[in-house]
Amino acid sequence: MSAEGSLDLTHADDGGVYFVDAADLDALATAAEEGKLYVCRADLEGCHDKSELLKRLATALKLPSGFGQNWDALVDSLRDLGWLHGTGHALLLDHANDLRQAAAKDFDILLGILHEAANFAIGQNRPFFAFLSLPEHPISLPTHR
């Protein structure tokens, strides 16, 4: 994927969950920042369960101290990211394969939650992208000219 100047993350309808190469995360972060999206990065290296995942996401998303540390609380938080200023949000999850290998069920639940958050954001005309670095070939992102 070449994100040099051609990647536009400002279109809410393009929002969603994308599997990408880890080498593309910096370019995606730059594109998101250029589009005035708030960028949240979480490294999932060595993340092997739901508890650790939620801790890392809470830190990356700067969730309030009262965050419930459960799936429902994550869904609620991702629907309302108002404390993170920006026209939209880009969540970059590096080493997502560590979680997928160690806790496939938790990984699948996370994907479902991220898809739901992206669909909710599309309904609000707000860009929301979740980029997960995985070793297999990524899907192509839409580009607008």
Domains of the chain are: 12-133 (3.30.370.10)
Q: What is the pLDDT of residue 6?
A: 63
CA dihedral 25, 28, 33, 34 (to 10 degrees): 150
Q: What is the pLDDT of residue 139?
A: 53
Q: What is the pLDDT of residue 136?
A: 73
- Paired with 19 in beta bridges are 132
Q: What is the pLDDT of residue 84?
A: 77
Q: What is the pLDDT of residue 86?
A: 79
Residues of the chain with pLDDT under 70: 1-6, 137-145
Total-model pTM = 0.88
Q: What share of the chain is helix, strand, coil (3-state, %, to 5)?
A: 45, 15, 40
Question: Residues with Cβ < 8 Å from 77, sequence gap 6 or more?
Answer: 61, 63, 67
Q: What is the pLDDT of residue 93?
A: 97
Q: What is the pLDDT of residue 127?
A: 95
